[in-house]
Structure formats: C-alpha cells, structure tokens
Structure 1
C-alpha cells in the first residue's frame, strides 16, 4: 500500500519540477522580451526599440487637406513601414493642428496616461503651446539613427522652430520657403531685393499685390520686407520681451509698405484675402507676380494647367524666410517605440527623396543633401522638379530663419494699424 503511494508522490514531484522549470524559463524569456519603460527608451539600443515597436499600431495625426500628402502616407509610407518594421500606420486627418493640441490638453487634464495620438505633424505656434503646456514626451530626436546620419542638427532653421529651441522634442520632416512667382514672358528680370521690387512696382502700377495678413503667405511676405528694410533678421531672434525700441526700428518697414501701396493692384484699396486669391489674379493676368511658401507650388500649378508655361520662381538675393515642419511624440503616446521607429523611417533618404518627387508630393527634404551617399544624390538630382521650381541648392543658399511667433503676431496687428487703415 505504501509503495504505490511513494510512486505517486515521486511522480507528482517530477511533474511539479517540470512545470516549475517551465515557468522559470518563461519568466527568464519574458525578461528578455519585456517592454522597455518609457524612461529607458531614450537610452535603449536601437535594435531593442525596433523589437518593441514591431506589431504595434501607430496613430499619426496630421493635416488631411492635401491629397498629395495623404497619398504619400497611405500608398507609399504605410506599406513600406509595415514591411520593414512590422508597424501598422494609421493616418488620422485633422483640419487644423490646433485640434490635436486641444485634444492633448483635454487628455492631460483628465489624467489620461494612454492617449490616442502617437505622432503629430507640428510647428510654430502649436509647438510653442505644446512645449509650454508639457504636452510633448521628451528629447527623443538625437536618438534616431537617421537624424544622426542625415540631419544638420546645427542649422538655425532646424534647431529653432519660429525662434523657439526644439530641444530634441520634434524631428524635422519637411522644409518650406517663401518664393516669388512671375511670368517670364512679361518680365525678363525679376526684382531680387526689396528696393528693386519697390522700383518695379512703381514702374508697373497695378501689377503687384500681396495677401492681406494674417494670411500665412502675406504675413511671410511682410516679414521678408522687414528683414530687408531694418537690417536683417538676426536682431529679431532674441526674445520679444527683450527687444528694445522696437517701434522705432519698424518705422522704415511701415514706410516701405505704405510707399508701394498706391501702386498695388486696385491702388492698394483692397488686398487679396488669401494666397489662393492672389494665385487667381496671377492666373488670369491681372497681376504679374504671386508668391508661395511652397517652392514646388508654381510647378504644380503649371502641371495642372492653372498657371502659364512661362511661369518661373525666384528668391531675394539676401534670402527669404524658411521654416521646418516637424514630427513629434505626445507625452501620453501609448506606442512610443513605434512612434520613434516611424519617424526614423520617414527621415530615411528613400522616404525623403520620394517625398521631394513632384509626382508623389513635391515637399522639400528635411535631411541635408550633402550628407547623402553618391547614389542618393544622383537620385535626388534626377528628379524632374519642373522649370518653375528652383534647384535645392539655390533655395538652401538663400534660406533665412523665421522669427519668434510673438513678433509675427505683433507685425500682423501692426499691419492693420499702420498699412490697412491708412
């Protein structure tokens, strides 16, 4: 009677030992594949970040009003990202980036630790708000391999977002720059300085105007004039609150805008309310120049038949304002590893060169062409940007940074007082 009982006890012990060993093995295996904490992600090896990101769904929130942008994300980025990293990309369109900021503010106030936004397209005032309200995760950008390899991290246009230091909290994705558009059949030599523009406007009354601020393009135009009439942009990079005697500095600027006003379209009694309205005036020949913060815009308008084939673009010799738009990770992104891997992928030479292709999108690269391999440089040079698009090196040579948003708001309000009401 005792012997069978002993056998049963030994068998039970053996089974228990096997199960226990399996549990220990599973526990050790779990340690090897366990999730990296959010704090440790920024110090983790990149391969470990990729391992954690695999299989995650990353929600990318961005402006949804551009068909070219949407196609690029859905048809080019998403399938390649999934194939290379196993990450599933879900594009969430918004009408305005402020919608994302408001969403994050609500989630923060509600104490929602796992939010709905993993990556967001952002810059300017929205970045400043997000930074001041602690809506951003942290300094993840220096950890991205493609940033280390291909981004000029010392560029003023990249390290400062409208004068606000990015501090690694947003990764550059696209660049934009103010360019002037003209019909070369009507003007052989475009005016490449503020003074030359003034003289041209006076000789050709009614053939030039600009969108009324606070239209984004119109506001960028008056900032370009500000730089040229008051001694350059450098003096405005300091904090608005630190600026002394600003009203006196701005007098030549207001004088310039008022001096050209009587010679503008409709004698300056009214201004186009948007850049698209100015484009319409140019397209029907009412004015001979228009402008855009997208260097590829004119070429796309020619391609679509809205602008004449004789359309070309130029920039001022002393430069035109340029800004960078970024990709950032919110404080409560539930998939931060996948967010980092997604942004890194979107900064790869292949993704950036494809984005720069006018047949795909036509947006300027955020990576430095000089850091590309010879193979990628040849591919970039082979892109047919259209005759109306300036070469990338010309744009880069004439790129000057934007100034802090406080100045922008001050200038827009000042324009209504000093120009529009006169």
Structure 2
C-alpha cells in the first residue's frame, strides 16, 4: 500500500479532535442477521477507493470481482483509482472538518501508517470485521500479524484482506549465486558495480528494503518494547544502517548519484536490463510480470536466510460511508475462498491469501494448492516459515525522514 501521510497543522489536529464519530451517514447494524443485511444491500452501488497503479490488480477487480458481485449480490462496484492512499485520507479529513455526514467513499484499501492516522483521527466506521461470516469462519483473528497492523491494534475497524512479504527479484542469467544476507549483498554490489539499486524513500518498497536492513544489521527488539523510543534514541540505533547504505552507495546504479523515484521505475530498469535486481513487497508479483511479458522468463525470487518482513493489508469502511452495509457485503465476498484463490493466481494478481488454512476443508485447500504460482515464485510454505513482523508505524516515518537526511543528502 502507499503509504505516507502527515497532518498538515496543529490547527487541523485540533479541528479533528473536536469532530465526533457520530457523523456516520448510515447507522449501520453490522450485527444483524447476515442474510437480512445482504438483502438490504441488494441493488446498491459500493464505491471502492484504492491505489490504482497496478494493471493486474485493476483487472482482477474489473474482470473477476465486479461481475461476481453483480451476479451473486446485485451490487454494483465502482472502483475509484487513486495515486496514493494519502489522497483518500485527505478527502476524508476535508469531509470530517466540513461536517459532511454522507461521503463518497464506502471502502478504502489501507494499512500501516495510513491506518494509524485514520484510527487516531476517527476516520473509520464502527467495528465490523468480526461480524463478517468469512472473517469469523476462515480467518485467525488472534494471529499477531492480523490483530495488529504495524504495531497498532486493529480493533475490528478494518478487515484483513491479504498477506504481503518482501522478496528480492533477480535475473538468473545475470546472477548465479544470490546474496542471502545484507553482508553478502554488499559484497555482490561491490563486485558488480551499477547492477543494483533500490527505490528512493518514501517509496514504500524502498522503505521496506531499509527496514529489512535494520532488522538484520541492528535488530528490532528495541522498537517493539512497551516504552516507545525517543527520537534521539532512534537516531543512535539507526547509525549502523545509514553507514551500511552509504558504504554501498558508490557501487549502485549511476554510482548512487540518484535513486529510482518509485518501484515502478526500478521495475523498468530491471526490464530494460540496466540492473540485475528489483524487489517487491509482493512475493508472487514476479510470476505475474513474467506471465504478462514484462519481466524476462529467467526471473526468479529469493529471500534472505534470516527471513523477510511481512504484513497484512486491510479493507476499511470510512466514518461517513453512504453505503456501509453494501461495503460489508463486498468485503465479506473478497474474503471468500473463491475470491482469495482468484487473487492468489498470478494470472489475476498474485496476492497471498489471508485465510487460515487450518480452518479450510481439504476441498477448499485444494483450490489453492492447484494454482500454478510459476517458476519465479517461492513456495507458500517457504515464505510462511521465514516471516518477520513489521515495526510500529511511527518508526516507518522516522526511517523515511532519516534516510533523506543521512543517505540521500550525503
């Protein structure tokens, strides 16, 4: 998800604090009988605001999800693409400040910093996730990676939708022995100057690369303690990470004088053969890119020996959604076995499911195991065995600011 958003001023913070969560367009009763709720939502339109920068994700909605919703629930889905999730929150902030009780956003795709800011400023509807049948029956709601979003308790204010995990992507014709640690990556970069880089922060994937370096070089125990770090403590902890990144900088693409401004730009460099690696917080993405012809057939992925960062992404209903019941029906369907399996298929998207496989029948599990993830993908079992939880979202912002000051400006 994308990604970074900060309040504009203390005056705006005060204004938000004065607003009331009572500004809900429809007093939705998510606890009513589910069949009655679904019947009430029939014939309505649901506006889904989400990042629109992926052709495969957009196609999954337009060609698979939307027809299914119309056929099974008589619900029309209006997918509204945005360049960055911060645009959604800015719109909700404006509506809340203006006292607009009936908004245009029914569902939004968020996680991490965006969820923290939305929760802190009462931009979310009442708790609903545990009322969805597919959440109750198919999801382990107590799993730490689901119950907390970058260290922030979810409190049923958003429903888990998919699992992400960081992987490195490479061209197997150019890279014979993949570097399975940051020390080995530094050596490979020095031996192969110009063949590696990462997106400039605050790009989300570039930030994940830096947070991954933090996990391996320093460790993240200090970040997950009950007592939050002071900024000066954080700056001291991060010094070895900045030293590492500055040490490899002269050997990066264009000698580190510039960085790709986004993951999309890094992917293009990889596609053009200008670099031997790209990366993703989406472990099946490479297989999807091979299938659609954007990445070479020799593309493969790997994870570091110590594991890689993983998080959950969610769907939420805003405080002033005009059609919250229709939104609940849509989100519940997106958590069905059929929708989650279609989402996993690289031919559609390649996003990992969020369902607890121990809750699925043998027949339901076979729906997933029958999907060909392609040679570019690691097995789900290997990915699951090496997942590392993300640090609290407040530190994500500090890392972005620290990188700009200590790496980009050096």
TM norm structure 2: 0.86
Contact 1:180 1:292 in 2 (8 A): yes
Indicate conservation of the 8 Å contact 2:285/2:349, yes or no: no
Q: Which runs of 5+ in 2 are unaligned?
A: 1-24
Output aligned runs, 1:372-387, within 5 Å: 372-387=360-375
Alignment of 1:205-284 (within 5 A): 205-231=193-219, 233-238=220-225, 241-243=228-230, 245-284=233-272
Select 2:99's aligned residue among 83, 88, 111.
Answer: 111
| 1:305 Cα offset (Å) | 3.2
TM-aligned CA distance change 1:373 to 1:116, over 3 Å: same
Secondary structure in 1 matching 2:288: helix
Query: Structure 1 pair 100/258, CA: closer, same or farther in 2 (3 Å)?
Result: closer
Matching of residue 349 in structure 1 with residue 337 in structure 2: yes
Encode CA deviations 1:73-94: one digit per residue, 9 max, x unaligned.
2332223223323333232333
- After alignment, is 237-246 or 319-328 more displaced? 237-246
Q: Write the deviation string for residues 7-40 of structure 1: whole angstroms up to 9, x where unpaired.
A: xxxxxxxxxxxxxxxxxxxxxxxxxxxxxx9667
> Larger % of helix: which?
1
Checking the alignment, whether the CA contact within 8 Å between 1:356 and 1:364 is kept in structure 2 is yes
Say which of 173, 191, 198 aligns to 2:161. Answer: 173
Name the structure 1 match of 2:385. Answer: 397
Question: Which residue among 161, 165, 178 is the counterpart of 1:190?
Answer: 178
Mark the runs of 5 or more structure 1 residues left unpaired by the alignment. 1-36
User: Is 1:317 the counterpart of 2:305 in the alignment?
Assistant: yes
Report if aligned partners of 1:178, 1:322 keep a CA contact under 8 Å in 2.
yes
Instruction: Identify the residue that residue 333 of structure 1 maps to in structure 2.
Output: 321
- Equivalent position of 1:61 in the other structure: 49
Hey, what's the Cα distance between the residues in 1 that align with 2:39 and 2:292? 44
Larger radius of gyration: 1
Match of 1:297 among 276, 281, 285: 285
1:162 aligns with 2:172: no
Report the counterpart of residue 420 of structure 1 in structure 2. 408
Question: 1:283 Cα deviation (Å)?
Answer: 2.9
Contact 1:345/1:351 (CA < 8 Å) preserved in 2?
A: yes
- Contact residue 288 and residue 349 of structure 2 kept, 8 A: no
Aligned partner of residue 41 in structure 1, secondary structure: coil
In structure 1, what is the equivalent of residue 88 of structure 2? 100
Corresponding residue for 2:109?
Answer: 121
Deviation at 1:303, TM superposition (A): 2.6
Find the aligned partners of 1:104 and 1:211 in 2 and give their Cα distance: 29
CA distance in 2, matches of 1:421, 1:64: 31
Distance of 2:291 and 2:61 partners within structure 1: 22
Q: TM-score normalized by structure 1?
A: 0.84
Q: What secondary structure does 2:216 align onto?
A: helix
1:238: how far off?
4.4
